[in-house]
Amino acid sequence: MFLVTEKIFRRLLPIFIGTTSILLFWVSAAQTTVLFSGVSQDSLSVGDRIHFNVTIMASKGNQVVPPPTDNGFGQFVVKEWTSDKAEKRNADSLSFNYILTTYSTERCTIPSLPFLQTASGKTDTLHSEAIPMNVVLVPPPSARDTAAIRDIKGLEKVGTPSLLWLWLLLSAGALAAFAAVLRRFIKKKTSPTQAPAPPKPPYEEAIEALRLLDAKQYLVKGMIREYVFELSDIIKRYIERRFGTNAAEFTTEEMLDWIRVSPLDPAMRRALEWFFFTADPVKFAKWTPDSDTVSRFGTDMRSFVEQTRPVETTAAKQPEVGNAPQ
């Protein structure tokens, strides 16, 4: 496994080219195969994209088949991938480049991947190295940003500046602070302040939002598109708060990717996939579904919220023996 930044990669490019040439010569002479892999970074945030590369140096004419990408690589979703082949006189260099992302908030690992190699009618399997990755809540500053901050120099002092502007600035600031304190004091005296109510738990908030949505009677008024838009926003916000992910900002494609790797059971996954896949044409293509489909929208999503309601872990307090009623 190797991890390189863009700056280091540029410095090591001549060495990499020379090393690649030596490896190709060695591969052609020894009639063997070399595989090495790497990623563009060793940590990422949920939804970030990273580059994963596998390079295989094989003898001339060897055929290599990469692993399927439909189900992703472990907890990573394959957004796209490309392959490239550089032919030399007696050996070939095959490169497989993947763009990966994850929707899990836990530590993930790019698993060891099988690459099938066929040579002279014989097939064997090459395995890449497993690469552990860190998932962070806030991406750390890049080396380039840190270097840029270090390069900033302080202002040089030239001559003796006048202090008049400083006194004026301090006076204006003091007057503004006094006015703010006075305004707050008057407001506090004239009207009682109330502490903001804490947000409701995700389940209660979703149930209340569904009740208010039904009260608007969109379906009775024939406003199906408006109904589907608001129902979709309610479910995304519930998923975001209930499962700790930024679902409210997801596109439909990213929402479907999260569903496939979510901790939900298969039945709930199928219900969510059907809803977001069917709701898209209603929201953006102005497709009008039949009454059964519209009815299923509300029924399935309310059932999803009910089935994923957090289970109470605190047992009901039992009366003590000494205090039991006679």
What digits encode the pLDDT tens for the residues 237-271? 999 999 999 998 999 999 999 999 999 999 999 99
Lowest-pLDDT choice from 10-19, 161-170, 193-202, 209-218: 10-19
Range 2-137: architecture per CATH: Sandwich (2.60)
What pLDDT, on a 0 to 100 scale, did the predictor assign at position 31?
60
Distance (Å, whole) CA 48 – CA 141: 14
Q: Is residue 273 pLDDT above 90, yes or no? A: yes
Q: Is residue 99 pLDDT above 50, yes or no? A: yes
Q: Is residue 272 pLDDT above 50, yes or no? A: yes
Non-local (6+) Cβ contacts of 69 within 8 A are 78, 81, 98
What pLDDT, on a 0 to 100 scale, did the predictor assign at position 285?
87
Non-local (6+) Cβ contacts of 117 within 8 A are 33, 56, 58, 62, 63, 64, 65, 123, 124, 125, 126
pLDDT classification of 60: cutoffs 50, 70, 90: confident
* 193 vs 315: which has the higher pLDDT: 193
Of the chain, the end-to-end C-alpha distance in Å amounts to 73
Q: Is residue 325 pLDDT above 50, yes or no? A: no
Q: Is 188 left (phi over 0), alpha (psi -120 to 50) or beta?
A: alpha
Q: In the CATH hierarchy, which top-level class contains the domain 202-307?
A: mainly alpha
Domain with CATH 1.20.120 in the chain: 202-307
What pLDDT, on a 0 to 100 scale, did the predictor assign at position 282?
92
pLDDT in tens, 285-317: 889 999 999 999 999 999 999 999 988 654 444
What pLDDT, on a 0 to 100 scale, did the predictor assign at position 132?
92
Domain with CATH 2.60.40.10 in the chain: 2-137
pLDDT in tens, 17-47: 555 555 555 555 556 778 878 999 888 888 7
Structure tokens at 114: 């099988």
